[in-house]
């Protein structure tokens, strides 16, 4: 059974960089059938897609966050990571990592089928 687990600091100071890692177990991150994504949810609000990465390193980012986001992959550790720079209180959220199906024919990412449990990151001094 595939499992994803987010890890990283639960508290980040304003203007600093938020860093999270997602460890994948029960399956290979190097599969050509999937992307690996980050989604966040501010307290009491809806889901926001942050970005996704393919095992080769190709990335897709939410245009509204693109200037501050970097997603990377480490296939040797079966992990992928998120960095969000210059954070403010508005970046306080539960951050989820998830597996995203990759369509073979058009390289789209139709849906997220496995999710981590999520980790709350609070931005505060």
Partner 1 sequence: QSALTQPASVSGSPGQSITISCTGTSSDVGGYNYVSWYQQHPGKAPKLMIYEVSNRPSGVSNRFSGSKSGNTASLTISGLQAEDEADYYCSSYTSSSFVVFGGGTKLTVL
How far apart are the C-alpha atoms of 121 and 10, rounded to whole Å?
A: 4
Is the Cβ of residue 91 or residue 96 nearer to partner 1 in the bound state?
A: 96
Footprint of partner 1 on residues 53-72 (CB under 8 A)? 60, 62-64
Query: Is residue 80 part of the contact set for partner 1 (CB under 8 A)?
Result: no
> How many C-beta neighbours within 10 Å does residue 34 have?
24
How far apart are the C-alpha atoms of 47 and 20, rounded to whole Å?
A: 17
Considering only 17, 28, 32, 108, the residue that binds partner 1 (CB under 8 A) is 108
**Could you tell me the sign of the dihedral formed by the alpha carbons of 79, 85, 125, 49, in that order?**
negative
Query: Is residue 33 part of the contact set for partner 1 (CB under 8 A)?
Result: no
Binding footprint of partner 1 on the chain (CB under 8 A): 37, 39, 46-49, 52, 60, 62-64, 96, 100-101, 103, 108-113, 115-118
């Amino acid at each position: 059974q595939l499992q994803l687990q987010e890890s990283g600091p639960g508290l980040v100071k304003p203007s600093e960089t938020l860093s999270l890692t997602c460890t994948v177990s029960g399956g290979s991150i190097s599969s050509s059938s999937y992307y690996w994504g980050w989604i966040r949810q501010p307290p009491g609000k809806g889901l926001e897609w942050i970005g996704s990465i393919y095992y080769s390193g190709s990335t897709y980012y939410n245009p509204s966050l693109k200037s501050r986001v970097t997603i990377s992959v480490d296939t040797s550790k079966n992990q992928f990571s998120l960095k969000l720079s210059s954070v403010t209180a508005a970046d306080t959220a539960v951050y989820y990592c998830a597996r995203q199906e990759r369509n073979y024919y058009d390289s789209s990412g139709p849906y997220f089928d496995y999710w981590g449990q999520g980790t709350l990151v609070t931005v505060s001094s």
